Amino acid sequence: MSDSREIPPSGRRTLEYVKEAAGAAESRQDPRYEAVRSRDARFDGVFCTAVRSTGIYCRPSCPAVTPKPENVRFYPSAAAAQQAGFRACRRCRPDASPGSAEWDLRADLVGRAMRMIADGVVDREGVGGLARRLGYSSRQVQRQLTAELGAGPVALARAQRAHTARVLLQTTPLSVTDVAFAAGFSSVRRFNETVREVYALTPSALRAAAPRGSHGTADGEGLALRLAHRGPYAAAQVFDFLGRRAVPGVEEMRGEPGRRTYRRTLALPYGVGVASVAEPARSKPGGWLDVRLRLTELRDLATAVERLRSLFDLDADPYAVAERLADSGPLARLAAAEPGLRSPGAAEPHELAVRAVLGQQVTVASARTLAGRLVAVYGKPLAAPDGGLTHLFPDAAALAEAPLDEVGMPEARRTALRALAAALADGTVPLEAGADRDDAEHALRSLPGIGPWTAGYVRMRALRDPDVFLPGDAGVRHGLALLGCAPPHAARWRPWRSYAVHHLWRAAAGSTPPTTKRPARANRSTP
C-alpha cells in the first residue's frame, strides 16, 4: 500500500484519528509511522514521536533520519513524552509545534482543561483552582487528563513552563534566575531540574545551543517570537478582518496590504503588554507569524502568547476544515479559492463581548467609532502612549456603573451594555479560557438586549467555538443567497460552521466572485 493510501484523509488530523490509529499499532504498520516516515507536518502538534534508542521525542515532521519502527513510541502530548523520560529534540523543537485544534473543537472536561492550562490557570491558581473552574474534583481532572493525554495538569503546565523558559533563554539577555521566575517556576532549583530533564542541558548550555536567528533577539522594542501555525494561512484576510475592526487607542494597523503590522494593548494577569504581529509576505510564506511583545511583567509571556494564538486562530486545522467544506457543494468553490481562511478569536474575551453589544444593528465602522469613544472615556491610559496605542480596553467593573452618555447610544443599548458588564464582572457570564460554552451562551441570552446573534458571535470569537452558525446575520443570509443555499444546508458544514460563516461574509462583501447575481445591499454589517 502506498504512503498516500495509508495516510488518513486530510481532514482527520486530530486526536480522533490518533486514537483510531493507536488500535492499529499491533498491526504490521501503524499509520502514525507513515506520517513520520513521510515527515508530514500536518500532524505536528497532534502527537509526538519518541525514539527509544536515542531517548528523544520529535515532531512527526522532524527532518532527522527516520527511526526504525520497533524503536518508535507515540505520545498524545509533549508532557506525556517528558513523563516517560524522553527529552525534546533540539533540531525540530517539538515544544514549539502548533497546538492541536482538538482543544477548540471539544467542549468536554479535557478540552476545557487544556484551554485553561494554556492560559496559565495552573501556574496562577494550582490544580485546585483549575478543578474549581471546571466544576470537578482535582482527582477527576487528574484522572481524565492522564487517561487521554498521558499526563496530568501539573505535567502539562510544566511542559508549557519549560517551553517558555527555552524561549526566554534563547531570545533574551535575562539572567537565568530572572528567566526561572518569568517562566513561572517557583524556585531556581526546580527550574534547573526541569530544563535538564526536558532538554538534557543546563540552562546555560541551552542558551548557548540556540540556533542562530531562530527566534530573533530581545531589544528595546520587546521580545521577538515566531508563533507557528499549521498548513496554509490566509494572512491577508485575517489582517483585513482585524484592521476593519481595530478600535482606536487599543488597536492599530500600520503599513500597506502585504506588509502590515497589527498592534494592540493587552491587559494580562500580572501587568500590561503591547503586541505587534507582522503580516507575512505573500512571496515568502512561512509556517509562523512574527510577533514582538513588550511586557511589564515577563511572567505574562505564556498567557500573552496563548491569547495571540487565539486571536489569530493559529491552532486551527485547515486541512480538516477544507475537507469538510469541499464536501458541502456550493461552499466548496469559496473554500478552494481561499485556502487557510481562519476564524479569528479574541485577545480579551470580555472586550469582545462588549464590542459585540456596541455593534448590534450598526455597521462595522460605526461599531468601531462607538468602541473608540468608550475607550477614550473609560479605558485605562498606558503609562506612556505607544504610537497610536494609548489605553487598555475598559474593564467590566468600570462599565457596570458607568452612565455611558458620552458614547452616543440609545438608552436600551446602554442598559444592555451595563447589564453585560455587571454580569462579566461578577462571573454570572463566564468567558474565561475553558468556560463552558453552553452555560455562557445561556447566561448571555438571559440578559436584557442580548439575543441569539450577539450570543452566537461572542461564542464564536470569545469562546473560540469553531462550530457556530449565525442564520440571522445579514451577511450570512446574503452569502447563502449568492450560493443558492438555505440555512438548513449549514448542517453539512459541522463541526466547522464558524469557518463557513467567514466564507459567507467574504462572499457577501464581494471578496469572492459570486455564482449568482448579488443582492443589492446587506441591512447590517457584522461587528
Catalytically annotated residues = 58, 473
DSSP E strands in 229-287: the ranges are: 251-254, 261-267, 272-278
Q: Cβ of 116: how many Cβ atoms within 10 Å?
A: 24
Q: How many residues does the chain have?
A: 527
- C-alpha grid cell, residue 125: 491558581
What are residue 308's phi and psi, to 5 degrees? -70, -40
- In degrees, rounded to 5, the angle at the alpha carbon of residue 235 between the alpha carbons of residues 59 and 298 is 65
**Cβ-based neighbours of 367, under 8 Å, separated by 6 or more:** 245, 355, 358, 359, 527
CB count, 10 Å around CB of 365?
11
In this structure, are residues 470 and 457 in contact, taking their beta carbons and an 8 Å threshold? yes
Cα–Cα distance, 252 to 265 (Å, whole number): 10
CA distances from 363 to 356, 368, 471 (A): 12, 9, 18
The answer to whether the peptide bond before residue 495 is cis (omega within 30 degrees of 0) is yes
How would you classify the pairing of strands 87-88 and 56-58? Answer: parallel
Q: What is the dihedral of CA 103, 439, 495, 74, to 10 degrees?
A: 20
DSSP letter at 50 equals: E
Instruction: Count the neighbouring beta carbons within 10 Å of the beta carbon of residue 429.
Output: 29
Burial of 192 by CB count in 10 Å (0-12 exposed, 13-18 middle, 19+ buried)? middle
DSSP bridge pairs for 323: none
Q: Single out the residue of 233, 211, 232, 215 nearest to residue 224, CA to CA.
A: 215
